[in-house]
Structure 1
């Protein structure tokens, strides 16, 4: 993408003038670097704030007309209506460039005033405290960007990967998490966010959260404790948790209560990052596991499951396979 081309695309996007090809180019630019999303959000914030200022300015139309036309001209000297002349393309282009520069200047001012911090949990899970006292647990490999201090009216962070959030309650300053797929806003709660390549998953532990998609903020969904939702291709889909083990990476514990074998395998793979599978032909719905594992190694977990089920495990390249012999 040419230099400053993204500013032109953002300006057209905010004006709702982009073509489908331009939207695809903008989406590709946003997904290319988490910093691009931060810049987009800052520019949109300037755009929205500017709109509010314009709408809030009082304007007395009648008084304005009085100043430029105190009395109508006599009938004898009235002119016939002059055809409306459209602005030249050159003038329209100049106005668009000026607007883009104003937005860029606003973004520079916002980021200069509030330095951007970046934390990456490269080696292990990592806990951190944000400038307002909110707590975040990043899963290994996850990253978080935020301004320090937060803006006066909004506490916003940019997430890649998976993290558990425990925000400080402040109704005057919403707490918002942005990903490439959408936004999650706290309504007095604790919750887990998984930012995947193709979609987001949000699990609400306590309280409520509000979700919006990345391309259409008017499309929203409020989740309550015990609920889950996915943001996939700009669609919001609510559901139940499905598994109680989505926090196992933070707690170190896996718990199964009459859990079907396929769900057990899915939870183990998510917890350990393993490649465990089930051989074709096994009636997985009839094989259920009741067990608890607390900070145990993968080998210990698999040995106990083999004892409980009578199954065996074979290795095929990098994949471990449950089989019946």
Structure 2
């Protein structure tokens, strides 16, 4: 049985022994382990106690004030007392701290009888219940984790800055929608478009996002540039009126008044009145045109006007303005010139298509939502 006790023991049993929480069998096992005379084993045991001494001192230093008020035990004084007993009772070959006293073989016990083997006397445990070393250690570790987590949470909140401003959106389905933005600027959304914007603009900028097509009349404010994000492009203005078309990855900007900066990726171009430019995403370039077709603003002005315009261009304009599907039945109709006829008050797409066809002596065939203009060729 003694040989079993002389085997190495785990840290938790040493901790229980130091805290005075071992039962008689466990105490005996620790005492026998500490009384081993093998030099190599004695060095190992000494290192174990040195390690527990450092843990004990660390716990005493980190112990929060609240715990000191709850626990009546003076850990520093208890440790010093334990240390003094270990130093006075230890052997010369093992000066390391040890929580026991030894009566040498040439000493006598209380009855005056000589003893041939050392007697290990454990220190008396405090009459007050003492918390286990590991319990204290885990409590402090949990407190450190809690404090670290709280610090991380506060740091993340500081880095995040103020709460984001709520975002609003306006959409248009089958007709043009007019909207006044928080700064007083006006927007006309063409069919099938969406504009996202903040509930209130920031102190130094006015940023919105567009999908589809919209005409803007921006309220001047030199201190707050107005920026429209449309796909991969950005349009920046101070105060002007213009149209932005971005139903797909290609973006077109046409300026009616004022001046805008049109940029996409690392390219940019400045546009003034009656100029337009298109960002071609496939070619990754911006193409500028010095002439603006007034019909580009038709969804805003409510007017369409054609004067000696090729029929293919008339169809293209109708499709863009009305988001419609109008086609020519054959290529012979492509270069036919349409006479001087205008449309007011945003007539329906059916009206526009049938008037164009009738004026040119052509026919219209309907296939669902698709309109097909048919004829043998251009009228004489």
Name the TM tier (shorter chain): 0.5 to 0.7
Q: Please list, as runs of the form range in 1=range in 2, the aligned pairs for 1:33-44 lying within 5 A after superposition.
A: none
Is the 8 Å Cα contact of residues 264 and 289 (structure 1) preserved in structure 2? no
Deviation at 1:318, TM superposition (A): 5.3
1:312–1:157 Cα change, 3 Å: same
Determine which structure has the larger strand proportion and give its number: 1
Q: In structure 2, how many angstroms separate the alpha carbons of the residues matched to 1:166 and 1:286?
A: 36
Deviation at 1:179, TM superposition (A): 1.8
Deviation at 1:107, TM superposition (A): 8.5
Instruction: After superposition, give the CA deviation of every residue in 1:14-41 in whole Å (9 maximum; x if it has no partner).
Output: xxxxxxxxxxxxxxxxxxxxxxxxxxxx
Tell me if 1:243 matches 2:293: yes
Larger RCO of the pair (alpha carbons < 8 Å, separation 6+): 1
Deviation at 1:108, TM superposition (A): 4.4
Name the structure 1 match of 2:324.
274
Q: In structure 2, how many angstroms separate the alpha carbons of the residues matched to 1:140 and 1:108?
A: 38
Name the structure 1 match of 2:272.
224
128, 137, 156: which one pairs with 2:207? 156
1:114–1:316 Cα change, 3 Å: closer
Q: Please list, as runs of the form range in 1=range in 2, the aligned pairs for 1:80-95 lying within 5 A after superposition.
A: none
1:149–1:165 Cα change, 3 Å: same
Tell me if 1:186 matches 2:237: yes
Q: In structure 2, how many angstroms separate the alpha carbons of the residues matched to 1:321 and 1:196?
A: 23
Q: In structure 2, how many angstroms separate the alpha carbons of the residues matched to 1:261 and 1:285?
A: 6
1:306–1:120 Cα change, 3 Å: closer
Q: In structure 2, how many angstroms separate the alpha carbons of the residues matched to 1:158 and 1:115?
A: 14
Structure 2: gaps of 5 or more residues: 1-152
Instruction: Please report the TM-score for the alignment, with normalisation by the length of structure 1.
Output: 0.61
Deviation at 1:238, TM superposition (A): 0.8
238, 260, 265: which one pairs with 2:315? 265
Name the structure 1 match of 2:124.
none
Deviation at 1:189, TM superposition (A): 1.2
Instruction: After superposition, give the CA deviation of every residue in 1:143-200 in whole Å (9 maximum; x if it has no partner).
Output: 2222232111111111111111111111111111112211100143100111121211
Name the structure 2 match of 1:174.
225
Is the 8 Å Cα contact of residues 203 and 241 (structure 1) preserved in structure 2? no
1:181–1:113 Cα change, 3 Å: closer
Q: Count the aligned residue pairs.
A: 220
Helix, strand or coil: the match of 1:269?
Answer: helix
1:170–1:201 Cα change, 3 Å: same
Is the 8 Å Cα contact of residues 311 and 333 (structure 2) preserved in structure 1? no
Is the 8 Å Cα contact of residues 260 and 289 (structure 1) preserved in structure 2? no
Helix, strand or coil: the match of 1:170?
Answer: coil
Instruction: Please report the TM-score for the alignment, with normalisation by the length of structure 2.
Output: 0.53
108, 131, 137: which one pairs with 2:182? 131
1:140–1:108 Cα change, 3 Å: farther
1:316–1:158 Cα change, 3 Å: closer
Structure 1: gaps of 5 or more residues: 1-100
Q: In structure 1, how many angstroms separate the alpha carbons of the residues matched to 2:187 and 2:269?
A: 23
Work out which of the two has the higher radius of gyration on C-alpha atoms and give 1 or 2: 2
Is the 8 Å Cα contact of residues 209 and 222 (structure 1) preserved in structure 2? yes
